[in-house]
Structure 1
Amino acid sequence: MRIGELSRQTGVPVRLLRYYEDQGLLRPDRSANGYRAYEPADVPRVTQIRGLIDAGVPTAIIRDILPCLDDPGTIVLTDPAPGVIAALEQHRLMIDARIQCLSRNRDAISRYLRAIDSRELAG
């Protein structure tokens, strides 16, 4: 598939797909006319890349761990590059902190909405 189709299927802008390629996260084939040619397997890969980036994991670390995550349900153990384990542990702590913050905010919004609902029912 071409880059536009991959963009449509994943919701990731073409510009970001090119950036992922520049960062070594995607390696599309090139057709005779020079167009990028993506495989269907690139759809879940792009989704996984996007999720890791959204979680705050830098592309350098994603590049190191992607070979271990080729099948989203299976982890293949490889020897990580120096510093990758420490960086992943740090990002896991950051993700945990974000989850806690989001949970607190969700709970506060829920309490606010319940208060509004009970006020409307009483009024």
Structure 2
Amino acid sequence: MASTASASMTHTMATSLASNAASGPSAQVAPLARSSSALPAVRFHYEEKGLLRPERTAAGYRLYTDEHAEMVRRIRILLAAGLNTDMVREILPCMVDDGEFLAPGCDDLITEFERERQRIDNQIAELHDVRSALTGIISAGKAASTGR
């Protein structure tokens, strides 16, 4: 059923292009933009990084489907979790999506995610130390200025 909807959306976008050539690439981009809120520059960046692969018309316009909108949603979830685009590209095929959550479908990904979480925990600890040092400097500065 999802493939029928995707095919229908692709057909609708192609028909829209054929019937209104003056509309340009926005005819193909608009459905994805409405469904995912991804800015065109973001979608093009995802494409450059190999995360998104829309089909092209003979004129070179991108054809986005519902599957592309879903892929953008998954990419955003993984990026929000602190992963970079290179890592997302590698692990995305191994992620399982139940419509509400993404979960690693390969056992080795759990270890990789735990490693990434530890790296983030270490950064948080370092930032806490930096903040404490800065707070000390601010306090010393305030004490020195009130004592003058």
Instruction: Name the CA distance, whole Å, in 1 between partners of 2:104 and 2:48.
Output: 25
**Which structure is larger by alpha-carbon Rg, 1 or 2?**
2
Percent identity for Structure 1 against Structure 2: 34
Instruction: Name the CA distance, whole Å, in 2 between partners of 1:78 and 1:9.
Output: 32
Q: Where does residue 89 of structure 1 map in the other structure?
A: 114
Matched, 1:32 2:76: no
Matched AA of 2:74: Q
Matched AA of 1:72: D
TM-score (norm 1): 0.61
Matched AA of 2:77: G
Matched AA of 2:116: H
Please show how residues 1-12 of structure 1 align to structure 2 within 5 Å. 1=13, 2-12=28-38
How big is the shift at 1:85? Answer: 5.0
In structure 1, list runs of 5 or more residues that go unmatched.
99-123
CA RMSD of aligned residues (A): 2.8
Matched, 1:72 2:101: no
In structure 2, list runs of 5 or more residues that go unmatched.
1-12, 14-27, 125-148
Instruction: Name the CA distance, whole Å, in 1 between partners of 2:52 and 2:107.
Output: 19
Q: Where does residue 118 of structure 1 map in the other structure?
A: none
State the secondary structure of the residue aligned to 1:25: coil
Q: Identify the structure with the greater helix proportion.
A: 2
Q: Where does residue 54 of structure 1 map in the other structure?
A: 80
Matched AA of 1:65: I
Instruction: Name the CA distance, whole Å, in 1 between partners of 2:69 and 2:78.
Output: 14
State the secondary structure of the residue aligned to 1:33: coil
State the secondary structure of the residue aligned to 1:41: helix
Q: Which runs of 4+ in 1 moved over 4 A?
A: none
